[in-house]
Structure 1
Amino acid sequence: MSRPPIIFWFKRDLRVADNPALALAAAQGPVLPLFIVEPALWREADRSARQWTFLAESLSDLRDALAALGQPLIVRLGEAVAVLETLRRAHGVVQIVSQQETGALWTFARDRAVAAWAAGQGVAWNELPQGGVVRGLRDEAGWSARRRRFLAGPPAEPPALEAVSGVEPGPIPTARILRLPEDPCPHRQRGGRQEALMLLHSHTARLHGGTETLAGERRGLRLSAHLGCGAVSVREVLAHLAGSGIDMASLRRLDSRLLQRDRALQLLERHPALERQALAAHAVTAPSADRGLLEAFERGETGLPFVDACLRYLAASGWISAPLRGMLVSVGCHLLGLDWRSAGLVLARRLTDYEAAVHWMQVQHAAGVGQEGRARIVDPLARGRAVDPTGAFIRRWVPELGLVPTAHLHAPWTWSEAQRVLGRRYPEPVVDPARAARDARRSLPAASGAPRSTRIRRRSAGTPDNQLRFDF
């Protein structure tokens, strides 16, 4: 009598190599490798077509890799419990294996529903740890050491899979089928493990060649989106970097950023409502800002040239460096008066590498509602002049300012002929940045002395900013 197949539920581990959960399932019998496309998840306010398209490309790569092992990926569209119940009835499934998922609050609620269904149907659901995240850990004591032990050793090879006959793989749906709003992103990264490996193996050459661009994209790893969907593992990245011949200072910096990423995931594991609930004890909801301010922020038409250039760059590329993400949150929250959740959602939808843990930790940090409880009010004019002194970045992304002399480009209202441009080709600034910054400082509550269970490593004081560095 043949053994019933085990469902291996892929979530955010879209790879066959270095996947201990997949190896465990494969060692026990025939495997149904499954990915569930959940329309309700993609209706959430932090999701977008660019994110789905990147994920779909990663799924296509995974399907090819699984087919080479003997069993192509099965894709099903629907609510998770309904999909799993259909497969259970059709194939007599009594066991599901997956990695634990530490993601947005929606996924937390879905997993609780699946756990209740599995218990009710007598289905064993075996969840293995994801990366260095420790489920149920009350504080950070000993976490780093446990993470190091988890990541020790070389990445595991892909397991052989025992095929299950008579199962239709199913199509990978498009963004249109999911009814996602049109979301042009002409410079978006492509998804897929092969793309991730190409970036990883080209990193050493990129690190030592050329000059870093303002947005940091040339010399950075640019693996954040691939790590987010699990096309590569942190263990694989660390193993490659250790043997790549890069200098020790660069290796330590990259290792530190990967550690920060995992620390953010661990924080979200303890605080699953991070996207909605501020960690600072003193945090209050900002008064509702004028809807026009939120729309100007979303369109990149605030009248603050460097801010608009960054917002438009993000819209076109799906990525921007961590310091500039922090600046955008600071401007949105402190100068425009947007609530941190509203500003955070605008950016979340734009980010191809949206990772709930990393993103909302960064947003709370920059907005001053995180564990440290200290706001960071960034002067966008000073920041722009520091990193874009020639104005080339602004001219590329805000071409309406073509007539403005470089000396006035960061503050075109100071130009004697500003009326030729402002209010015509380009909007007047929606706020006076200096006055808005003064008002924000006066309105800030005193620091709360919030607990510091998450220790954040900063860049040195001599560097241009002290934002969290998660860009890799």
Structure 2
Amino acid sequence: METALVWFRTDLRARDNHALAAATEAERLCCVYCFDPRGFGSREYGGTNSFRYEKTGSHRTRFLRESVADLRTSLRELGSELIVRHDRPEAVVPELASAIDADFVSFQATSTPEERAVERTVTARLKRTETNPDVESFRGHTLYHPDDLPVPVARIEDTFTPFRRTVENSDATVRPTVEAPSALPPIPEVAGTAAEADASASAGALDPGEIPTFEALGVEPATQDERAVLRFEGGETAGLERLERYVWKRDRLREYKETRNGLLGSDYSSKLSPWLNLGCLSPRTVYEAVERYERERVENESTYWLVFELLWRDFFQFQFEKHGTQPFERDGIRHRADIHWRSGTDGESEEEFERWKRGETGIPFVDANMRELNETGYVSNRGRQNVASVLANDLRIDWRKGAAYFETKLVDYDPASNYGNWAYIAGVGNDSRNRSFDVGWQAERYDPDATYVKYWLPELDGVPGEKAHEPWTLSPDEQERYGVTLGEDYPEPLTQWLGSNE
């Protein structure tokens, strides 16, 4: 090939990037990333019972901007450049390919329907350009390549355990990573024989461009709460540093299974999800780190469990590839028409939904997790399950509204993992059994002294631990003694929730 174009998506890395590796054989190389306007601002949730929500909030926008900046730095150090555009990929990629006379275009394929639709449109438009380049997509967002699964994606089980056993009991292997290139081909030059107008247009097409500001993207600038368990810095550099710190410097992998349900602190779990979901790290890179750790330090249930979690992540990716848009429907892949969902947009349910979002339900364990989410863009897996269960199973508010709110707020949002987990908890996804959580029991189990609750709800700081999880049980004398008045300093619990938990 003479001139290659790499379209970066959720693969913002140089290491273990097959789309980039395939293009290094070219004589000239151009790399591009598009801030798609459809991913920002207010939009309507499609399908029946639509509602509006913010697609991408401040925390993930910050992480994305940092990740693109880090990728640009890496590519420049390798002798290349990252062209950045604030436009739709189907407009940018074919135009850029024509401007540089590309004969090869590569990108990372995805599993979810909206993203796959963009892939198809980009590919179709590339084929209609005068140069008609070869177009190749690569799989790099999952641990296992779909071609290596023991069964085709369309035939994988709809529940996790049979899927896991099928994979683990087969001869399926994880493909090895590819190293980051030591150098990249030079960027194309404007052809001297081109007409002056065409040359000028081509030169403009090759302008690196600026990373869009928060204002240009229509997003409020991010502020980092000092109480955050970790400052999630975007980019491959920070992702590799986090992996190194967690696995090797702090040696926390050996106890991952025992500590992963912790609520406070930076190292009780790996917290690699933001870098994995945006592709700053590949799951194969994490897998190889675990393998090396097992060879050099210890192999135990905890080391297995981190790979187990990567397989859960794969499961949701393949499920969404299998089922298309159905997992985003209110009735889910189980077609659960027997559940009466409240809309969250009328009367009492609207007020309850707004209180849930603000972390003002009057249920301390829920409120603490929601406030952490709002202020930092992150919340533990244990917290996510509990707040989702309250909204979907106790309040019976349309689970998709909660999933959409998470989509806005999470720094580590991934469509398959987010909506897959929400549907799972709501009983319309990959397990139709009752997944309702006893929040009171969960709070006592995972936050026995209410340390986490008081950390995010300082208004309850004076309340003893045994009472802090159930402040509605405080008598007027106790409220005065502990310095908290229900309904003023801290809200009364939601009536709907309290009634269903008496």
Q: Same fold (TM over 0.5)?
A: yes
From 269, 283, 304, give the equivalent of 1:220. Answer: 269
Match of 1:180 in 2: 219
From 80, 92, 98, give the equivalent of 1:71. Answer: 80
From 31, 34, 37, give the equivalent of 1:33. Answer: 31
From 121, 125, 131, give the equivalent of 2:135. Answer: 125
Look up the SS of the partner of 2:320 in the other structure: helix
The alignment status of 1:201 with 2:244, answered yes or no, reads yes
Q: 2:40, 2:219 within 8 Å by CA — same for their partners in 1? A: yes
Distance in 1 (CA, whole Å) between partners of 2:184 and 2:170 is 29
The alignment status of 1:280 with 2:322, answered yes or no, reads no
- Superimposed CA distance per residue, residues 189-217 of structure 1 (whole angstroms, 9 cap, x where no aligned partner): 11111211111111232516999542574
Q: Provide structure 2 residue ranges, at least 5 long, that are not aligned to the other structure.
A: 44-53, 158-162, 190-202
Distance in 1 (CA, whole Å) between partners of 2:156 and 2:464 is 52
The alignment status of 1:299 with 2:379, answered yes or no, reads no
Distance in 1 (CA, whole Å) between partners of 2:10 and 2:433 is 32
Look up the SS of the partner of 1:302 in the other structure: coil
Distance in 1 (CA, whole Å) between partners of 2:368 and 2:356 is 11
| 1:227–1:32 Cα change, 3 Å | same
Q: 2:392, 2:399 within 8 Å by CA — same for their partners in 1? A: yes
| 1:155–1:116 Cα change, 3 Å | closer
Q: 2:366, 2:383 within 8 Å by CA — same for their partners in 1? A: no
The alignment status of 1:423 with 2:481, answered yes or no, reads no
1:120 shift after superposition = 2.6
| 1:114–1:148 Cα change, 3 Å | farther
1:51 shift after superposition = 0.8
| 1:97–1:359 Cα change, 3 Å | same
1:243 shift after superposition = 1.4
- The sequence identity of aligned pairs, in percent, is 28
Distance in 2 (CA, whole Å) between partners of 1:148 and 1:26 is 31
1:429 shift after superposition = 0.9
Q: Across the two proteins, how many residue pairs are aligned to each other?
A: 435
Q: 1:391, 1:406 within 8 Å by CA — same for their partners in 2? A: yes
Match of 1:5 in 2: 3
Q: 2:62, 2:222 within 8 Å by CA — same for their partners in 1? A: no
Look up the SS of the partner of 1:176 in the other structure: helix
- Superimposed CA distance per residue, residues 195-252 of structure 1 (whole angstroms, 9 cap, x where no aligned partner): 1111111123251699954257423111111011111111211111211224322211
Distance in 2 (CA, whole Å) between partners of 1:246 and 1:315 is 37
Distance in 1 (CA, whole Å) between partners of 2:421 and 2:413 is 11
Amino acid paired to 2:137: E
1:347 shift after superposition = 2.1
Q: 1:8, 1:32 within 8 Å by CA — same for their partners in 2? A: yes
Distance in 2 (CA, whole Å) between partners of 1:344 and 1:66 is 35
Q: 1:100, 1:129 within 8 Å by CA — same for their partners in 2? A: yes
Match of 1:398 in 2: 457
Distance in 2 (CA, whole Å) between partners of 1:118 and 1:146 is 41
1:89 shift after superposition = 3.4
Amino acid paired to 2:96: L
1:148 shift after superposition = 7.4
Amino acid paired to 2:4: I
1:62 shift after superposition = 0.9
Kindly report the root-mean-square deviation, in angstroms, between the aligned alpha carbons of the 2 structures. 2.6
TM-score (norm. length: structure 1):
0.85
Match of 1:466 in 2: none
Amino acid paired to 1:197: L
Look up the SS of the partner of 1:52 in the other structure: helix
Q: 1:70, 1:163 within 8 Å by CA — same for their partners in 2? A: yes
Q: 2:16, 2:179 within 8 Å by CA — same for their partners in 1? A: yes
Match of 1:251 in 2: 303
Look up the SS of the partner of 1:21 in the other structure: helix
Deviates more, 1:130-139 or 1:402-411: 130-139
Distance in 2 (CA, whole Å) between partners of 1:386 and 1:287 is 30
Look up the SS of the partner of 1:98 in the other structure: strand
Q: 1:23, 1:159 within 8 Å by CA — same for their partners in 2? A: no
Distance in 2 (CA, whole Å) between partners of 1:149 and 1:384 is 39
Distance in 1 (CA, whole Å) between partners of 2:462 and 2:180 is 58
